[in-house]
Amino acid sequence: MEKNQIKKEIRKEIRDKLSHLTSKEVKEKSQHIMEKLCSLEDFCSAGKVFIYVSVGREPDTRFLIQDYLDKKEIYVPRCKDDDTLEAVRLEGLEYLQKGRYGIPEPVESLREFFHPEGPSIIIVPGTAFDARGFRLGRGKGCYDRCLNHYLKKSPVWGLCYDFQILSHIPDESWDIKVDGIITEKRILRTA
């Protein structure tokens, strides 16, 4: 079977599993994931955090973002017209608006961008991950292009539920591996 077809089937299977999660399960699992993230040395030592804003049944990052806005510099992605991401410093959750794919992103007036000087961490979502650190996104390649820009400058961690870690995900030459993955059950270092 061709790589694209395998990826398409993985996305469908994971979407189906996510759709069966209750709001209570999302909240409980997200709390465990965020506790693990906050205990991580890469996170504790980081003055700058580039983190996604969760949508749907993804591990909920909103309460972590809110809790750390006055403790760290928090940057969240904004999608540009060419499907590239820019990481913009967030001043508060009230500065989020729906972006072109329905994903909350910073309003246009926010113009301070992420530069990984000093200790920083990048936290990404994924449809699925494998133990090698490869990530399967939604298929547009936005995060791979963005992460390529920050390669080796900041540790990159993926957040997901344990069932989203698979034995193998087909990878491409342009795919960027994460340094680790955090689920409600474990912290998996891949680097």
The arithmetic mean of pLDDT across residues 25-41, rounded, is 98
User: What's the domain count of the chain?
Assistant: 1
Across the chain, what does the average pLDDT equal?
A: 92
Give the Cα separation of 94 and 90 in Å (integer): 9
Q: Is residue 45 assigned to a domain?
A: yes
Q: Is residue 186 part of a domain?
A: no
CATH code (residue 153): 3.40.50.10420
Q: Is 190 a member of any domain?
A: no
Q: Taking the model in full, what pTM does it have?
A: 0.94
Specify if 17 maps to a domain.
yes
Question: Considering the domain boundaries, does residue 189 fall inside one?
Answer: no
Mean pLDDT of 96-105: 90
What domain range is 71 assigned to? 3-174
Q: Pinpoint the alpha helices (H) of 61-122.
A: 62-68
